[in-house]
Amino acid sequence: MSIYSFHTKSSKREELPLEKFQGEVLLIVNTASKCGLTPQYEELEELYNTHKENGFEIIGFPCDQFGGQEPGTDEEISEFCSINYGVSFPLAQKIEVNGETAHPLYQYLREQAPADEGFDDAGIWQKEDRDMLESSDIQWNFTKFLIDRKGNVVHRFGPTVKPKAMEQVIEQLLVRTV
**Mind telling me the catalytic residues?**
35
The neighbour count for residue 103, using CB atoms within 10 Å, is: 20
SS3 for 123? coil
Q: Are 132 and 158 in contact (CB under 8 A)?
A: no
Distance (Å, rounded) from C-alpha 3 to C-alpha 120?
28
Residues 25-48 as b/e (b if ≥16 CB within 10 A, e otherwise) read bbbbbbbbbebebbebbebbbebb
* Positive or negative torsion for Cα 131, 137, 140, 143: positive
**Alpha-helical segments (H) within the chain:** 40-51, 74-85, 104-112, 167-175
* Dihedral, CA of residue 126, residue 140, residue 13 and residue 147, to nearest 10: 10
